[in-house]
A and B are shown apart, each in its own frame.
Chain A
């Protein structure tokens, strides 16, 4: 029947696409007879290919196995769709779904299975498949979620090609290659028109917000416009620098715009953004200065004859820290030049989606064009509008680290981690410090841990004025520091006043999206937070992206923490995706963080409150204990302050979904456990881990007491 000069593949494809019903059969097979009888009974014409009657029957059979993963006959196709064998066909019939198929519109291109040709390189196979197919589903034949995804595409009348990883020899190798390329280990792993869509949830989300249909239907128009740059990054902070360097490494022509508007007190700084200049770096160094002060006290218990009244010199600390920051600023400039990223010290705003206006310090302006633009402008401290004298007299974290004098008696306004960290190190270097908070400490963090931090700070001489807000600040005396009179409303609504040398406002941060002209070019923002709405860092305008602090919470699969490493990771991955180096997306789940208050607090994943609201109190088990760091014993520090807890999800095999620790070096303790979260560790994995003795971190390998039991968790020795 098949002409000699036609290949088996063409023969089969031609046959199934041009006939309503095709049955591949063997004359000796009783089930084939039954299927034929079924179609006869339905009064439906069908074409039969008897494999045992054809000289190349075996070749056809091999091709059918390749195409359908089915080794047996009968092998039935209706309107180009693969139906299966006797069981699948009769099942459809019994469900009343067979007859309607004869009337349904024919798929232009039938859905099919594929696998690498013998000897074909895995990367070549995957890349060619993705490049040449509209929809590719990497799947497992046993996976119900994969079946759902296939049905989703069927319901859109969209043919797909699937690769059933559990049915082919190269399955594991393809899975490993996909993990490298996409960062995704699971199936289904879906590509649409060459674009990595991800797994079930992301594809469904793309369908519900109609991005999927748009992607499938749009004609791809190659943009052959010449632009000045392949990418312009607005903002030279951690995220912007990382993104621009990664883009340049991928061969793109890149410029990064960095422009620091002076603070209300006139402080400005060099390249590198908040983290390097007025955030993480100077904060951690001043925290270290405070820790050294504490160690000087402890040292006497360890035999050092340290004199009483060792004094701290603000200028020495500040100058050394600022020198170090200066060297970092310089190094960033050198790196940008090494990596061939153009550094432009100008303020950038959008004219249209490809055109930016640059404003230089000297008042000159210039226009540049870019194929892609990344918004990485970050945020700045908020100044409350209802506090008289705030702008004129208060400093913020933008000013503190380079302050040319010791701030003296200081009021820190706000319950943010910035406020508590600054209060902590200022007290640690010997200053008189008060924290004024309106309501709870560390909103968004685990509140039990926030309580531990607050209590510890209070016990170490930091005064707290709770339930209060400042109303007016007036300068009483000029000087370095001068004197400020702070009027505030206390919890009873009474107006009180107190004199301070310095008032530090740390009531939150706001993103710098207001001056970018985003509304004019159609980049959507969250009206409340002013943060940019994104989908995997892409904004509502397809060539404009956002990373770092400006990304809105609603955009991600976890809380978008305003943290330097989050911005860096998202920026690098984004550049690699835009310039085709990989398809790996940012995973915002279980980002670790540490608050560097006098007692450090490290956290990964869910807070206890979040865990309870997400999974229900009955599904959560909290293991906890106080611990007494060995170093604290000799120093006569309390045994019931440091605290560790693991939050586990009972309904998911005791998966550890939250880790919280308050104690010295919490940052160093927490980072490593973040790897365990990435690997989705369970409580049993923690229990099976051998500790390092004597450390504080080993506590997490021996947690036995649940909160539910109500047993005491006081400190104990070896």
Chain B
């Protein structure tokens, strides 16, 4: 099973990515909207559709790859044009959900993240 981690801020995410810079493995990041505790549902409906599909496809990840879930905030935080994920030079996030292979510029956006075949294609490399 591929290694999995979860982050809640840009700072946490980047600190971690910097710490594993020298490690040569495929890193996949799902940027998604924060979830509300009671029902584990996100405020972002597209994220809720994509989430189970991405989870299901994790089995296609190779053993030595890594899957990161990064929550970009609640609705007001994300909708702010100055949101740190939007303005960061390396990430430049435009929409959620977004699923990327880090450093490889392979990107799936919005409903593409809910397309099992596309997610599998990304995970299998």
Instruction: Give A contacts to B, CB under 8 Å.
Output: 323-324, 326-327, 330-331, 333-334, 337-338
Contacts and interface: CB of A to CB of B under 8 A. Distances in A.
Contact of A327 (B105, B112, B115, B121): B105
B89 interface: no
Contacts of A337: 115, 117-118
Contacts of A333: 118, 121
Contact of A326 (B106, B112, B115, B117): B106
B61 interface: no
Given A323-B103, A323-B104, A324-B105, A330 B122 contact: yes
B30 interface: no
B110 to A, nearest CB: 11
Interface in B104-120: 104-108, 112, 115, 117-118
Given A326-B106, A330-B104, A330-B121, 6 more contacts: A323-B103, A324-B105, A327-B107, A333-B121, A334-B121, A337-B115
Nearest to B115: A337
A338 B105 contact: no
A287 B107 CA distance: 27
Given A334-B112, A338-B112, A327 B117 contact: no
A1 B106 CA distance: 81
Interface string B91-106: 0000000000001111
A324 B107 CA distance: 12
Q: Is the interface of B mostly helix, strand, loop or mixed?
A: mixed
27 contacts: A323-B103, A323-B104, A323-B105, A324-B105, A326-B104, A326-B105, A326-B106, A327-B104, A327-B105, A327-B106, A327-B107, A330-B104, A330-B106, A330-B121, A330-B122, A331-B106, A331-B107, A333-B118, A333-B121, A334-B108, A334-B112, A334-B118, A334-B121, A337-B115, A337-B117, A337-B118, A338-B112
A605 B86 CA distance: 45
Q: Is the interface of A mostly helix, strand, loop or mixed?
A: helix
Interface in B57-116: 103-108, 112, 115
Contacts of A327: 104-107
Contacts of B118: 333-334, 337
Contacts of A324: 105
A338 to B, nearest CB: 7
Contacts of A330: 104, 106, 121-122
Contacts of B104: 323, 326-327, 330
A553 B111 CA distance: 44
A330 B107 CA distance: 8
A687 B117 CA distance: 56
A326 B105 CA distance: 8
Contacts of B105: 323-324, 326-327
3 pairs of A and B residues whose beta carbons are closest in the complex: A327-B105, A330-B106, A327-B106
Nearest to A327: B105
A281 to B, nearest CB: 13
Contacts of B108: 334
Nearest to A326: B104
A451 B12 CA distance: 58
A381 to B, nearest CB: 28
A349 to B, nearest CB: 26
Nearest to B117: A337
A4 B105 CA distance: 78
A331 B122 CA distance: 10
Nearest to A325: B105
Nearest to B112: A334
Nearest to B103: A323
Contacts of A334: 108, 112, 118, 121
A331 B118 CA distance: 10
A330 B105 CA distance: 9
B57 to A, nearest CB: 15
Contacts of B112: 334, 338
Greatest chain B CB density within 10 A among A331, A334, A337 is at: A334
Contacts of A338: 112
Nearest to B111: A338
B105 to A, nearest CB: 3
A330 B103 CA distance: 14
B99 to A, nearest CB: 11
A334 B106 CA distance: 10
Contacts of B107: 327, 331
Contacts of A323: 103-105
B116 to A, nearest CB: 11
B21 to A, nearest CB: 14
Nearest to A337: B118
Contacts of B117: 337
A338 B106 CA distance: 15
A333 B115 CA distance: 13
Contacts of A331: 106-107
A327 B118 CA distance: 14
B67 to A, nearest CB: 17
Nearest to B121: A333
B107 to A, nearest CB: 8
A331 B112 CA distance: 11
Greatest chain B CB density within 10 A among A323, A330, A337, A338 is at: A330
A327 B121 CA distance: 12
A622 B106 CA distance: 49
A672 B108 CA distance: 34
A324 B122 CA distance: 15
B104 to A, nearest CB: 6
A653 to B, nearest CB: 50
A219 B86 CA distance: 62
A334 B105 CA distance: 13
A121 to B, nearest CB: 38
Nearest to A329: B106
B100 to A, nearest CB: 10
A472 to B, nearest CB: 41
Contacts of B106: 326-327, 330-331
B103 to A, nearest CB: 7
B55 to A, nearest CB: 20
A324 B106 CA distance: 9
Contacts of A326: 104-106
A331 B121 CA distance: 11
A327 B117 CA distance: 17
B121 to A, nearest CB: 6
B119 to A, nearest CB: 11
A310 B103 CA distance: 26
A182 to B, nearest CB: 37
Nearest to B106: A330
A614 B67 CA distance: 64
A88 B49 CA distance: 77
B83 to A, nearest CB: 24
